[in-house]
Amino acid sequence: MATQISSNWKRLKATLSSKDAAAAAPAAAPAADKPWFDGVPKADIVHTKTELVLPGATSELTKYVALDCEMVGVGSDGETSMLARVSVVNYHGGVIYDTFVGAKEYVTDFRTEWSGVRRKDIHGAPSFEEVQKRIAEILKGRILVGHALSNDFKVLLLSHPRKQIRDTARYKPFRVQNGGRTPALRKLTLKHLGLTIQKGEHSSIDDARAAMALFRMHRAEWERGLKERFLQRIGKGKPAAGAALAKGRAGATAQADDGYDDDDDDD
């Protein structure tokens, strides 16, 4: 019996010693999230379902910002759109500004099924004038990203220099992939990012982030194309393969200037 107890005690001591050694060993340091900033090589980016907001994102203003608005209906038939919410995110997807907007007119259709806006949301919200002023301040001197931005400008009663606009609804490669028609943001997001958005009520934050994520993915070729067209226009660049550099380039249409089509179909 003494031999059996001694043997068991030795095995127990060995087990305890092994556990103590493991506990004393330094723990492996957790992998730190690498912050993503402007200029990240495209080859280093692997798009996943978490990339609407990049690791390290803050609320700082960046060179590129994305904007999206939600509208409600006013007038007897509720067909006229009025601003009810606006969101702005930075290059990394961090929220810079997000607010509901007080109604200037009586709302006859909240369009909640799509807008996600309810009467309680706009009650006591900042005035249109206050929001409009803040948005203008944010956009000044920055490159604006979004989807079908003409609709947002219309309800904001604002404009922005065309050369500083990157509209995913009018970007030619996206339209070509969609048979020449303007693709819906939800389709672009699913096709390029593997994400599903706009299932039910919309979120202006999610939509702005989706537009920015699409731009980030194609930023290099998008900006390169704009630069090449500019150089062609002033006669210093090489025309695209198989294309003749037309004379009188200065009188070319805006479509040729920025690579956008003007058809606003949304399919």
Q: How far is CA 111 from CA 75, 83, 94, 200, 217, in A?
A: 13, 12, 27, 11, 32
Tokens of 220: 């290099």
Query: Tens digit of pLDDT per residue, the chain (267 long)?
Result: 544 545 555 555 555 555 454 444 444 443 333 333 344 344 433 444 447 999 989 999 999 999 999 999 999 999 999 999 999 999 999 999 999 999 999 999 999 999 999 999 999 999 999 999 999 999 999 999 999 999 999 999 999 999 999 999 999 999 999 999 999 999 999 888 888 888 888 899 999 999 999 999 999 999 998 988 888 888 776 655 444 433 333 333 333 334 444 444 444
Q: Side chain identity at 1, as an amino acid letter?
A: M
Neighbouring CB atoms inside 10 A of 72's CB total 27
Q: Which helix (H) or strand (E) holds 126?
A: none
Nearest residue to 187 via CA among 196, 200, 176: 196
Is 31:71 a contact under the CB 8 Å cutoff? no
